Amino acid sequence: MKKRIVIPLLTVLVLLGAGGGTAGYLYMQGPRVQTMGISLSGQIVEKVHSQYEAGYEKYKGVYLPGTTINGEDVSGLSPETYLAQTVAAYRQGEFTLTGRNKAKDTFQMTDVIADVTLETPPEDFLSEEELRRWPVSIHETRAYEDPVTVTYDPDKISKAVKASSFVKGEGITDPQDAYFTKTEEGFVIVPETEGTRIKVKRTIDLVTKAINAGKLSLNLEKKNCYRTAAVKSDDPTLVSLLEQGQKIQATVVNMDMTEATETFDWSVFGPWVDWNGTEFTLDEAAMKAYVEELSKKYWTYQTQRDFVTHDGKAIKVGGGASDTYGFWLNVDNTTQRLINTLTTWESQDIAASWRTNAMTRNKTNGDIGSTYIEVSLKEQHLWLYKGGSMVFDTDVVTGTASDPNRATPTGVFCILNMLRDHTMRGSYGSEFCHYFMAFTWTGCAIHDAPWRSNFGGTIYLNSGSHGCVNSPPAKAEELFGLVYTGLPVIVY
């Protein structure tokens, strides 16, 4: 039986270099081939057949030249190879996480991919018909679209994020809330610090979304993946505290120290003020210690002074335990007054509190000044000066000099109280007077002595008083109208 070979005529013509455009088939029977009046020798036919078969086998099971899938040239690739390369391409990538302080970490996509599938099996794009006419098909183009579906394993994505340096790395810091505090410069709001700890769940969710959207990176800073401080520096409570702190720092309290002023501003009271996290506090012990130093600074009580007598003699007076005149600060009261003032945090002027006060300071006769009572035991005389001018004087009888228990004490005193129609009581019994001006805490006073008819001279040597300064009744009345409590009384 003769062998019969059927080859598309167009293929033959292509193989023979005749070009396209001829349709039909030819067949070979015996040594020659006949078709449409064309006669080919068996030798030529065999050559054409051989070439055709070789190409057929070459392109069998692979994509013909000029074939693209999803825009990718797959010429000569088998469906299996194309599928393997496609899956590998999706698995070869890496996902990059970037964050604060130039931090960076990556993980491989192959670690999170669950599966890679094609909508159409790759082998479906192989065509037997195209293969049969391969000499022509290889000069043509074929473009196919085959959507790729990549599925990712949520657990693997979560594991990859949790294993990253953003979660497991060293030196991760938590954000710190802004807070109000006191520094050497004053009250401030210390701003919040960002820290480097991320919100893990949010990060996992955003990484998953990015991967599903075909993205291979995520900026944690831009996507708000970092934990944030709960309290920011613009927090209304902190801002209000700062305003209060600034008001405190601006407070100025001027304390009148009698012809002197002590100013309490932030440079002074700053160390006493603090914030304990709940309220502003004052270190009352430190305040008292400061006031105690002020007491020492202004102290003149029971100290010796220079004094110029009525006749111009410069003498030393005072310094004895019985003195009642001079500056002696009441530390407790002054401290409390300062506390009460500062806790209002309003600038204002206040006065110090004194146990005993003086009329002036750093003037004529020191803190005695130029208005005072002068009593000379030797001269048995009393003078009243106002503004440096004598406005009153009288003879007096002072305590009995021969009896130490009845002698009038010398020193610097002041009128402690003034009484009308007063009954005096002591070891001598009792005596009534109309004008009583005490100048010692033991009861020595300037008062009228209606029981005496004579004053001055040497009466005091043996028949003086029990320590008081006796004055003629009329003179005592006049003096009572000229003096006041606190007025210095100098006895020498």
What mean pLDDT is predicted for residues 127-131?
A: 90
Assess whether 39 and 91 both reside in one domain. no
Assess whether 18 and 81 both reside in one domain. no
Whether 26 maps to a domain, the answer reads yes
Q: Compute the residue count for the chain.
A: 492
What mean pLDDT is predicted for residues 389-396?
A: 98
Assess whether 117 and 49 both reside in one domain. no
In whole angstroms, what separates CA 302 from the centre of its chain? Answer: 51
Number of domains in the chain: 3
Whether 89 maps to a domain, the answer reads yes
The domain boundary residue, chosen from 209, 231, 253: 231
Q: Measured between alpha carbons, how far is 242 from 234 in angstroms, rounded to an integer? A: 11
For residue 297, name the pLDDT band (cuts at 50, 70, 90). very high
For residue 179, name the pLDDT band (cuts at 50, 70, 90). very high
Whether residue 29 is predicted with pLDDT greater than 60 in this model: the reply is no
According to DSSP, the residues that pair with 390 across neighbouring strands are 385
Q: Measured between alpha carbons, how far is 201 from 222 in angstroms, rounded to an integer? A: 16
For residue 11, name the pLDDT band (cuts at 50, 70, 90). low
Whether 33 maps to a domain, the answer reads yes
How much of the chain, in percent, has pLDDT values that exceed 70? Answer: 91
Whether 308 maps to a domain, the answer reads no
Assess whether 50 and 180 both reside in one domain. no
Assess whether 88 and 28 both reside in one domain. no
* Least confidently predicted of 6-20, 163-177, 198-212, 476-490: 6-20
Assess whether 183 and 88 both reside in one domain. yes
**pLDDT for the residue numbered 17:** 46
What mean pLDDT is predicted for residues 9-29?
A: 42
Give the residue numbers spanning the domain of 479. Answer: 370-491
Task: Report the chain's terminal Cα–Cα distance, integer Å.
Answer: 171
Assess whether 23 and 75 both reside in one domain. no
Q: Measured between alpha carbons, how far is 249 from 16 in angstroms, rounded to an integer? A: 106
The domain boundary residue, chosen from 210, 231, 252: 231
CATH code for the domain in which residue 429 is found: 2.40.440.10
Locus of tokens 């001598």: 428
Closest to 269 in 3D by CA, of 252, 256, 244, 255: 252
Q: Is 360 exposed, middle or buried (0-12, 13-18, 19+ CB in 10 A)?
A: middle
**pLDDT for the residue numbered 8:** 53
Q: Where are the alpha helices (DSSP H) in 76-127?
A: 79-91
Q: What is the pLDDT of residues 427-470, one digit of tens each?
A: 888 999 999 999 999 999 999 999 999 999 999 999 999 999 99
More confident residue, 414 or 17: 414
Whether 248 maps to a domain, the answer reads no
What mean pLDDT is predicted for residues 338-366?
A: 92
Contact, 215 vs 176, CB < 8 A? no
What mean pLDDT is predicted for residues 387-405?
A: 97
Whether 326 maps to a domain, the answer reads no
Contact, 9 vs 25, CB < 8 A? yes
Contact, 354 vs 379, CB < 8 A? no
Q: Measured between alpha carbons, how far is 413 from 204 in angstroms, rounded to an integer? A: 88
What mean pLDDT is predicted for residues 72-92?
A: 93
Whether 117 maps to a domain, the answer reads yes
Assess whether 76 and 181 both reside in one domain. yes
**pLDDT for the residue numbered 40:** 54
pTM: 0.69
* Least confidently predicted of 351-365, 395-409, 430-444: 351-365
Q: Measured between alpha carbons, how far is 394 from 383 in angstroms, rounded to an integer? A: 7
Closest to 492 in 3D by CA, of 323, 301, 300: 323
**pLDDT for the residue numbered 16:** 47
Whether residue 381 is predicted with pLDDT greater than 60 in this model: the reply is yes
What mean pLDDT is predicted for residues 50-70?
A: 94
**pLDDT for the residue numbered 48:** 80
What's the mean per-residue pLDDT of the chain?
Answer: 91
How much of the chain, in percent, has pLDDT values that exceed 90? Answer: 84
Whether 105 maps to a domain, the answer reads yes
Assess whether 100 and 205 both reside in one domain. yes
Assess whether 35 and 99 both reside in one domain. no
**pLDDT for the residue numbered 37:** 43
The domain boundary residue, chosen from 163, 197, 231: 231
**pLDDT for the residue numbered 21:** 35
Whether residue 294 is predicted with pLDDT greater than 60 in this model: the reply is yes
Assess whether 158 and 36 both reside in one domain. no
CA 329 to each of CA 311, 342, 360: distance values in angstroms, whole numbers, following the listed order: 33, 19, 14
Q: How do 445-448 and 469-471 pair as beta strands?
A: parallel
Give φ, ψ of 392 to 5 degrees: -165, 145
Q: Measured between alpha carbons, how far is 185 from 242 in angstroms, rounded to an integer? A: 13
Q: Where are the alpha helices (DSSP H) in 299-348?
A: 331-342
* Least confidently predicted of 26-35, 107-116, 472-481: 26-35
Whether residue 3 is predicted with pLDDT greater than 60 in this model: the reply is no
In whole angstroms, what separates CA 354 from the centre of its chain? Answer: 41
Assess whether 76 and 223 both reside in one domain. yes
